[in-house]
Chains A and B, each alone.
Chain A
Amino acid sequence: MGDLNKLGLAEARDKLRSRDLTSVDLTQACLDAIEGAGALNAFVHNTPELALEQARAADARIAMGDAPDMCGLPLGIKDLFCTKGVPSQAASGILKGFVPEYESTVTRNLFDAGAVMLGKLNMDEFAMGSSNETSVYGNAVNPWRRGNEDTALTPGGSSGGSAAAVAADLCLAATGTDTGGSIRQPAAFTGITGIKPTYGRCSRWGVVAFASSLDQAGPMTKNVRDAAIMLETMCSHDPMDSTSADIPVPNFEAMLTGDIRGKKIGIPREYHMDGMPAEIDALWAEGREMLKGAGAEIVDISLPHTKYALPAYYVIAPAEASSNLARYDGVRYGHRATLAQGDGITEMYEKTRAEGFGHEVQRRVMVGTYVLSAGFYDAYYNRARKVRALIKKDFEDVFAQGVDAILTPATPSAAFGLGEMSEADPVKMYLNDVFTVTVNLAGLPGIAVPAGLDKQGLPLGLQLIGRPWEEGDLLNTAYALEQAAGFVAKPAKWW
């Protein structure tokens, strides 16, 4: 029974139900894989005892009959989720030692369904980054390499540990969160599937806040079917999150027919970027042909305010972050700086936050503070919120024309080398999210599906954007794309 960790969720679920497999064996295979994958730095807090205890309970539940889909399936959990009794640091020094007294709603939903937690996963600090290089735990490393080179590549970010862990088969699937592309960009960089649902689908209760009007949790999985299964369990209406949607969660898996005949797929002309690698353009054109081949109608569309999405995001997200991160003051939890003789409370705040926050987080908190400060609020923050309204209207207009989904590249490049962007100005790193950030600003569901390899052998992804609350339809279109693309490549094991 080797290689159990390489199974996907659906496959493992079926084997557990047919009693060809136990959750304890499956969990142990993942724990062994994690043990041997220190070089990837994906798992940062391991919980093997808890995992085996949950696995034994799941096996008992499966033996009783009616176990839910996720029962007995071992997962990695992004460090941004508060998990009761298990360190939850958002990859930040300022939350060092923080052990939550409560469980996030998303992880509670998963554990109530019988899922097993293997440990917490690396990420960019407070989910601020696109390369997992801002983590207090150090870089997570992409299991993929360029050809025969041994250059360490980024798994993307902010959910870099989640992406690396799923791609390297350290777990069957992982939770991620996405504020500007943090599920979809790392999924594309590592050849896996990742969906950000409609804003309000997954409760934000217990998920450490970055930018509350943009943050959404979602699954990162080995295929589209697995994404459908796990997303359904993660979603719920939650009175603890005032923006949680009180609408029924459908059986997403049952909607995967692969039949997309007659669906209208929009190709937005503004997503053709100057200087985009030819391979990305070619993959996008192939994706268009694949969906056409599956019976969809392809239409050219325009989303005229696309260019302004990133600048609007870099006002709104830092503004919300500066407010959300004000709570890290060295009083209630986490790190407190050692004070000098005579230091008062202001010195305590300033020293604690200077020591506890990394450079990128400090920069974004200060940019947010600036754009919200007296005299600039209208010029920056209110203007950005108006532009955000226009970006959302762009999407509403094309959906009103009958478009069912929108096809775009997931990222403007394949995974780059760790450290390669360190000399670049921060804006260059921000461009990683150019195709994904519009979706967060408009609150829509978006999914990244692996669709091909570049000439260096690195995975490339395509993104599909759906109508609000229609994740089921979106997943079905992604399923058709997945079947047509036939992406099966895996990274060669070097770790």
Chain B
Amino acid sequence: MSIDKDTAARVAKLARIRVEEDALPALAQEFNTILGFIEQLNEVDVSGVEPMTSVTPMRLKRRQDVVTDGNQQDRILANAPDAREGFFAVPKVVE
């Protein structure tokens, strides 16, 4: 499986990372090196093996479905690059 420039561009788009056109061939090459390394996994017989979901067998704890926290709008917004009138502000989302 070889990754071409177009696939690299598609992956960058999916990851929401801008990659300039002239950087795509080198990126595709790096993906191919890493994926070539990963291909070794195809040598392993995994028939009948369940994919691991939790490394230590444990049951997730449950708790009452009640509010445990809140009323700290200022602290939530304190690190925002742009906050206005109690909201996170972003560029226009819909035309």
Which residues of A line the B interface, CB within 8 A? 97-99, 101, 198-200, 213, 239, 242-243, 245-246, 305, 307-308, 310-312, 314-315, 322, 326, 329-336, 339, 343-351, 353-354, 357, 362-363, 365-367, 369-371, 373, 380, 382-390, 392, 425-427, 430, 441-443, 468
Other contacts beyond A369-B14, A443-B56: 11, CB < 8 A: A199-B56, A213-B54, A305-B44, A311-B40, A331-B80, A334-B79, A348-B90, A353-B15, A354-B19, A366-B17, A369-B11
Per the 8 Å Cβ criterion, residues 19-59 of B in contact with A are 19, 27, 30-31, 33-35, 37-44, 46, 49-56, 58
Other-chain residue from B40, B49, B56, B80 in contact with A389 (beta carbon distance below 8 A): B49
Residues of B within 8 A of A392 (CB): 52, 55
Interface of A (DSSP majority class): helix
- CB atoms of A354 and B18 under 8 A apart: yes
**B89 shortest CB reach to chain A, Å:** 9
B93 interfacial contact with A, CB 8 Å: yes
Closest Cβ neighbor of A198 among chain B residues: B56
Closest Cβ neighbor of A365 among chain B residues: B15
- CB atoms of B61 and A239 under 8 A apart: yes
**A472 shortest CB reach to chain B, Å:** 17
Residues of A within 8 A of B35 (CB): 367, 370
Per-position 1/0 for B76-95, Cβ under 8 A of A: 10111110000010111100
Interface of B (DSSP majority class): loop
Q: Given A331-B90, A348-B90, does the pair A383, B16 have CB atoms closer than 8 Å?
A: no
Across the A-B interface, give the 4 residue pairs with the lowest CB-CB distance, nearest first.
A443-B55, A385-B51, A336-B81, A333-B79
- CB atoms of A314 and B58 under 8 A apart: no
**A70 shortest CB reach to chain B, Å:** 26
- Assembly CA distance A246 to B62 (angstroms): 13
**A211 shortest CB reach to chain B, Å:** 11
Q: With a 10 A CB-CB cut-off, give which of B12, B63, B76 has the most chain A CB atoms.
A: B12
Residues of B within 8 A of A426 (CB): 30, 33-34
29 A-B residue pairs with Cβ-Cβ distance under 8 Å, sorted by A, are A101-B72, A243-B56, A307-B40, A308-B40, A315-B38, A333-B79, A335-B81, A343-B91, A344-B93, A350-B17, A351-B18, A363-B34, A366-B8, A366-B17, A367-B34, A373-B11, A373-B14, A383-B44, A384-B38, A385-B51, A386-B46, A386-B52, A387-B46, A389-B50, A389-B52, A392-B55, A427-B37, A441-B55, A442-B55
